[in-house]
Amino acid sequence: MRIAEFAFPGPLRDALVAAVLSGRKTTTTALLEEYRVEGEALPRRGERQRVVDSDGAVVAVIETTDVRVLPLSEVDDRHAVDEGEGHADVAEWRAAHEQFWNSDELRAALGRPVTIDDATPVVAERFHVVERFV
């Protein structure tokens, strides 16, 4: 079973994991480029993943219920709000995600900067918690 890591270890991951555990977070979005650079297959409907916290402890298992690869401009309000980060709409969500995707940490992980615009392909995943360990 693959591991689901939300953001990098630290305060953001802790907040996202708490949102997953509470049921507020039922979607997530990644750059398609992240999967390419990591050589990782895209999630599949029905696939289960272990959610880890900032300490690397497995805190839950999630099951993917939907996966879409789409241009960033096609992410909608429902997906954005369901990410459980408190964004009122896709505009707020996009601003926060662009900040993360342009962060030094992600650039270092990818080995280079990535152009973020309306055409940037993203992986929009929907999931639910099937088991909690905390």
Q: Give the tens place of pLDDT for each residue, 119-129.
A: 999 999 999 99
Q: Give the pLDDT of residue 86.
A: 94
Q: Give the pLDDT of residue 80.
A: 97
Q: Give the pLDDT of residue 93.
A: 97
Q: Give the pLDDT of residue 97.
A: 97
Q: Which residues, in sequence order, are CB contacts of 106 under 8 Å at separation 6+? A: 100
Q: Which domain holds residue 123?
A: 2-132
pLDDT tens for 64-107 read 999 999 999 999 999 999 999 999 999 999 999 999 999 999 99
pLDDT tens for 6-61 read 999 999 999 999 999 999 999 999 999 999 999 999 999 999 999 999 999 999 99
CATH number at residue 113: 3.10.400.10
Q: Give the pLDDT of residue 126.
A: 98
Q: How many domains, the chain?
A: 1
Please check whether residue 29 is in contact with residue 83, taking contact to mean a CB–CB distance below 8 angstroms. yes
User: DSSP assignment of 102-126, as one string?
Assistant: TSHHHHHHHTS----STT-EEEEEE
Q: Is 85 helix (H, G, I), strand (E, B) or coil?
A: coil
